[in-house]
Amino acid sequence: MDGKEVAHEQLISEVMDYKGSPAYIAISFQFNQTKMVVMYKGVAISKPYENIFNLGIIGGKIAFLAKKESIEKMPAYILVFDGKEYGKEYGAVTGYIDNNGLPAYIAIDYKQDENGRMRNEYKDQYIVKNNSVLFELKSGEEMIWQSKEMIDVNGFIAAIVRAPKTNSLYVWYDGKKFFEGYDIHNILNVNGKLAVLAGKNKIQSIFLEK
């Protein structure tokens, strides 16, 4: 295929279409250090970070996760959206969505050992919109099943949550719990309504919000 070269870097990661042109993560290696920036139309539109991943769009503006620093050897990740950093007060941000044009993200705080040092497991987990906590989950009680299992439905957040004590799942949606006691496989936004693929008594069903 004949084509016009629109970018060249030492290494390119996570290319996406942004307003009709490719936006991507450019990776360079200098003095045994890795530097990553987000590029668009030949210009760096982010400051450099040690690691950038999960490139996406929120409200028509570029967002991504970045490694800010390491806290006692535990990686500290933040959400960067429209050039601003979110979640710096938490141990790490693990995922995000576009929630009606604003960032909603999953944040964690790490556990500490008896000497006050960070451990590689989280203590608390939160769903945060912009910078306000919407839902706090406690380890040992309930936790988000997978960070990717969070969606926006007409401005409301839906997430799959697991209760480890009973090993059961439920859907947290607009501040309420639904489908407790079901084996929940997926949640979707179908034409502005929440759809849930769930099973019970060896039968799977799709439920659609009225």
Q: Are residues 135 and 120 both part of a single domain?
A: yes
What is the number of structural domains in the chain?
2
Q: Are residues 35 and 96 both part of a single domain?
A: yes
Which tokens sit at 26?
């450019």
Domain boundary among 139, 154, 177: 139
Show Cβ contacts of residue 22 under 8 Å, excluding neighbours closer than 6 positions.
Answer: 6, 7, 15, 16, 40
Q: Are residues 120 and 152 both part of a single domain?
A: no
Q: Are residues 11 and 109 both part of a single domain?
A: yes
Q: Are residues 99 and 128 both part of a single domain?
A: yes
At 122 the pLDDT is 63
Question: Among residues of the chain, what percentage have pLDDT more than 90?
Answer: 62
Q: Are strands 43-44 and 61-71 parallel, antiparallel or unpaired?
A: unpaired
Show Cβ contacts of residue 64 under 8 Å, excluding neighbours closer than 6 positions.
Answer: 25, 38, 46, 52, 53, 54, 55, 56, 79, 80
Q: Are residues 192 and 153 both part of a single domain?
A: yes
Yes or no: say if 157 and 149 are a contact pair by the CB < 8 Å rule: no
At 98 the pLDDT is 95
Return phi, psi of residue 21, to 5°: -135, 155
Domain boundary among 121, 139, 157: 139
Domain boundary among 122, 139, 156: 139
Q: Are residues 12 and 91 both part of a single domain?
A: yes
Yes or no: say if 72 and 117 are a contact pair by the CB < 8 Å rule: yes
Q: Are residues 50 and 132 both part of a single domain?
A: yes
At 166 the pLDDT is 72
At 199 the pLDDT is 95
Q: Are residues 109 and 7 both part of a single domain?
A: yes
**3 state SS of 48:** coil
Residues of the chain with pLDDT under 70: 1, 69-75, 111-122, 139-140
Domain that holds residue 161: 142-210
